[in-house]
Structure 1
């Protein structure tokens, strides 16, 4: 199975933008989890991470997005990072058969710092890193 980015939508509510993606990944959740929930994993496709304490309330520092904390943490399923200025990124993994998974991603932020195409590029790198391109 190859990975795919099936959906990318953008909404604006006042000065807040919300991006949603549905990404099919060619690996089981347990393999994908470290890519979205560890500093080393995020560095492989998203970019460098200053700090990521893998637990609810842990510190997170993402260059370009800011520092903040882990606001949701359900091992192998949900990692959510909220950063200064009101930004929030949520990675929600679901099983897709025995050997694949689906990532439901949401990024809420203010301003024009992120774009749908920028996230699409990141998710293409994630698929590549996981061996599904």
Structure 2
């Protein structure tokens, strides 16, 4: 089974932009969680991570987005990072059958930020990374 990135939605409220994407991944949540919630995992497909304290209100420093805090943390399900230079990014995992999951992704930012195309490219890299992981 391969992954897919479904149609995204984008909203603008004043100077705040909110991008939502739904990504279907060919691995169970427990195998995807490290990709969105560890230094090594995020670095393999998204951006280098200088600091990540894996807990609510922990410090996070994402090289491409800035430094901030972990604003939601539910192990194996939700990782949310709010960073000064890049707004808020949220990874919410849900089961999708026995051996797969769905990633509900949100990026909220002020002014100029990463485009939907840029995130799609990153999620294609995530799908490739997960495809090379042994089940």
Shorter-chain-normalised TM-score: which range? over 0.9
TM-score (norm 2): 0.94
Per-residue CA deviations over 1:73-124 (Å, capped at 9, x if unaligned) read 0000000001115711110000001100000000000111211100000000
Partner of 1:51: 51
Structure 1 runs of 4+ off > 6 angstroms?
Answer: none
Partner of 1:128: 128
Contact 1:91/1:104, CA 8 A, preserved across alignment: yes
1:25 and 2:62 matched: no
Per-residue CA deviations over 1:9-63 (Å, capped at 9, x if unaligned) read 2111100110100000000000000000001000000021111111111100011
Consecutive unaligned residues of structure 1, counting only runs of 5 or more, are none
**1:55-94 matched pairs, under 5 angstroms:** 55-84=55-84, 87-94=87-94
Classify the secondary structure of the residue corresponding to 2:31: helix
For the aligned residues, what is the CA RMSD? 1.2
Classify the secondary structure of the residue corresponding to 1:117: helix
Consecutive unaligned residues of structure 2, counting only runs of 5 or more, are none
Partner of 1:98: 98
Q: 1:41 to 1:86 in 2, by over 3 A?
A: closer
Q: 1:66 to 1:19 in 2, by over 3 A?
A: same
